Amino acid sequence: MTSADPPSGSRGPTGIAPVLQVHPTRRCNLACAHCYSSSGPTQRKALDLDLLSGCLEDGVALGYRQLAVSGGEPLLYDRLAELLARARSLGMLTSVTSNGMLTTAERWGRLAPLVDVVAISIDGTPSEHDAVRRRSGAFAATARNLEAIRASGVPFGLIFTLTQHNVDSLDFVVHFAAGSGARSVQVHPLTLHGRAATELPEARPDSVELSFALVEAMRLGRELGVVVHVDALSADQLRAHRAALVPARPVAELTAVAPVLVVDADAIVTPLTHEVSPRLALGSLEQARLGVLARDWLRAGRGDVLADACARTWSELTAPPERAAVYWYDEVARRTRRLPAVRRQLQACITSAS
Ligand code: SF4
């Protein structure tokens, strides 16, 4: 999978270890309605292992300490074991996010020694999950395979994609997690990108839905002893964590402004999330190594432009009327696409660099 980011606890604006989020292929056994990467069975594109190895080396030098492999379905990337082994040899923590339909005992057994944490996507009750996954029996297949993951001893969590219509399903998912031995549930708001943008254009959760999810997460976590993390911030959290959310300028290090760095299946490197404006992408690993892309991006002042977008986002979101809760990266990304201000800044950067 997945339509989600790396497992919670690994990332983000709360100052946790910087994450290199790699999507090595769009190949997938499913073609889910909510897929942000438009992955599917007919997709063939996969990134070269040497290219990704160079990316990991440079990523570590830049301060990225965790590799999070997502997709497409990572288990359909032929070189997955080698990629994970390379990350481990560089001292990185490794995580894999999967739809769980292929994690049979045999397949998972080969990967398990290379994985520090695995996240499995569960999107509600069996019928809800199968509907959004557009595959009858998808839930049952994934649930069966959880036994192999549990038996391997690799800590695992579930990822639940929150839409405007399914916060009530969180109760089922957290109970299912508790009964399955999962340590956590990550609630990730639907991202309107890729197939999700055309198939579910009205389903992005609004701030009320996000705040319900925060409340439900607290209740369920307390009741069931499962860590339930929602990728959303309340208004109070926004105000309390300005220093972690808004990077200081001038930005000297990539990790200061991009605690998550996304490498998509086209080898494009983007800070924070897929939805950040392509104008703020670092570029393509097929054109230059990550170290070079990062150096040029910072020299051109792109880090400051992104930091300004963070500052503007924070100011707008904390001005009245406040919203009950927001998905921070989504809000920043939207502002990078709302571009007169960003375009002017980028133009200024280009002019001063030339
Ligand atoms: S959301 Fe579905 S189609 Fe997309 S990568 Fe995950 S499992 Fe595959």
Centre of ligand 1 to C-alpha 77, Å, is: 13
- The domain that holds 309 is classified in CATH as 3.20.20.70
Per residue in 52-110, pLDDT (tens digit) is 999 999 999 999 999 999 989 999 999 999 999 999 999 999 999 999 999 999 999 99
Tell me the pLDDT band of 252, cut-offs 50, 70 and 90.
very high
Q: Which residues line ligand 1 (CB under 6 A)?
A: 1-3, 28, 30-32, 35, 37, 39-40, 71-73, 99
Residue 5 reports pLDDT greater than 50: no
Kindly list the distances between the CA atom of residue 72 and the CA atoms of 1, 64, 137, in Å, as whole numbers in the listed order: 5, 22, 19
| Segment holding 131, helix H or strand E | helix 126-133
Candidate from 22, 30, 122 with most ligand 1 atoms within 8 A of CB, to mutate? 30
Per residue in 297-335, pLDDT (tens digit) is 999 999 999 999 999 999 999 999 989 999 999 999 999
| Domain of residue 46, residue span | 1-354
- Give the residue among 103, 45, 105 at the shortest CA–CA distance from 77: 45
d(CA 203, CA 221): 25
Kindly list the distances between the CA atom of residue 99 and the CA atoms of 116, 201, 304, in Å, as whole numbers in the listed order: 17, 22, 36
pLDDT for position 347: 61
- Cis-peptide into 72, omega within 30 deg: yes
Centre of ligand 1 to C-alpha 43, Å, is: 12
Residue 14 reports pLDDT greater than 70: no
d(CA 139, CA 136): 8
What is the number of domains present in the chain?
A: 1
List, in sequence order, every beta strand (DSSP E) within 172-323: 184-189, 227-230, 233-234, 260-263, 268-271, 283-284
Write out the two tokens for 6. Answer: 């790396």
> Beta-carbon neighbour count of residue 351 at 10 Å?
8
Q: Residue 6 in contact with residue 110, Cβ under 8 Å?
A: no
* This prediction's pTM: 0.91
Centre of ligand 1 to C-alpha 303, Å, is: 31
Residue 175 reports pLDDT greater than 50: yes
Minimal-distance CA residue to ligand 1 atom 3: 31
Minimal-distance CA residue to ligand 1 atom 1: 35
Q: Residue 143 in contact with residue 31, Cβ under 8 Å?
A: no
pLDDT for position 349: 58
